[in-house]
Chains A and B, each alone.
Chain A
Amino acid sequence: MRRFAAFWWDFVVGDDWRVAVGIVAAFGLTALLAATSVPAWWLMPLAVATILWVSLRRAAR
């Protein structure tokens, strides 16, 4: 059971769990902003670039 859970964790989350958490948070913020009158299209690209760069910087140490 533990190995099964570990497989799915590794399959979906991968090497850096912060990336998955960041993506979920970014979608949440985007949904909140999209519900207002402020344009929200710019948020996801910016968030993804930031999340990726932070994860890469952590790996490149």
Chain B
Amino acid sequence: MLSAFLASAVEMVEALTIVLAMGVTRGWRPALTGTGAALLALAAIVSALGPALTVVPIHTLRLVVGALLLVFGLQWLRKAILRASGWRALRDENAVFARESEEARAAAHTEHAGLDWYAFTISFKGVLLEGLEVAFIVLTFGSTQGSIPLAAAGAAAAAVLVVFAGVVVRGPLSRVPENTLAFAVGVMLTTFGIFWGAEGAGVDWPGGDASLPGVLVFVVVCAFGFVTALRRRRLAFA
């Protein structure tokens, strides 16, 4: 549930920036309609795929889920390590908001079904694409731990929290430590990906589930070690 919550928080902060830019520059009705349509599509994806996953044998499920979590987890972790070590710029929500707003102002105004189509499609795409990874995390964690609704509740709680914070702040959430959250999500997805994937491949972990914290510590130590090594490398290049 924590992984789904944190992943959803990061993605929703990014989606909120896009929706805010559309709402402020082009109007709230198409922006919120696009957001609602994307959330419905995400809910439909989770509802449709969730029951299908429960019929897959547990070993196959763990191997596939483990591989997916590792692929996603290493993407998150790689990006977070590069940002933490200074090799990639930190994401600036204010800059993204300014760019999206500028593009929205310059875009032509065309109406479909009484809605500003540009604001609707950009909001829809923003929320759907940012939310798709969360939907996969909800499905993979939920199906392996036997509770998709619990993982979905974690993701929904983060979405509500981010929207509430956005309403209070009335602007992009530039103070959210996105890279720290992304680092934590990357570590968790990688840990569970290694653990479940290896089990699915036929591995017997020493001590069974008790070895999961050991894998977590290993991933954390490696991640911090890589950040330190890359910082040194950057200084050497400077």
Q: Interface residues, chain A, CB within 8 Å of chain B?
A: 11-16, 19-20, 23-24, 27, 30-31, 34-35, 39-41, 43-45, 48-49, 51-53, 55-56, 59-60
Stretch of B70-78, B93-101, B103-111, B171-179 with 4 or more beta carbons under 8 angstroms from chain A: B70-78
Stretch of B26-34, B43-51, B204-212 with 4 or more beta carbons under 8 angstroms from chain A: B204-212
Between B74, B88, B190, B219, the greatest number of chain A beta carbons within 10 A of the residue's beta carbon is seen for: B74
Q: Interface residues, chain B, CB within 8 Å of chain A?
A: 63, 66-68, 70-71, 74-75, 77-79, 81-82, 85, 87-88, 132-133, 190, 193-194, 197-198, 201-206, 211, 215, 218-219, 222, 226, 230, 233-234
Contact, CB under 8 Å: A53 / B87: no
Q: Which residues of B contact A20 (CB under 8 A)?
A: 71
Contact, CB under 8 Å: A52 / B222: yes
Q: Which residues of A contact B234 (CB under 8 A)?
A: 60
Contact, CB under 8 Å: A56 / B82: yes
Would A44 and B87 be within 8 Å (CB), given that A52-B78, A53-B226 are in contact?
no
- What separation, in Å, do the CA atoms of A43 and B63 have in the docked complex? 15
Q: Which residues of A contact B71 (CB under 8 A)?
A: 12-14, 19-20, 23
Question: Out of A13, A14, A40, A59, which one reaches B87, CB within 8 Å?
Answer: A59
* CB-based nearest A residue for B202: A34
Contact, CB under 8 Å: B198 / A30: yes
The distance from the CB of A15 to the nearest CB of chain B, in whole angstroms, is 7
Q: Which residues of A contact B82 (CB under 8 A)?
A: 56, 59-60
Question: Out of A35, A51, A59, which one reaches B202, CB within 8 Å?
Answer: A35
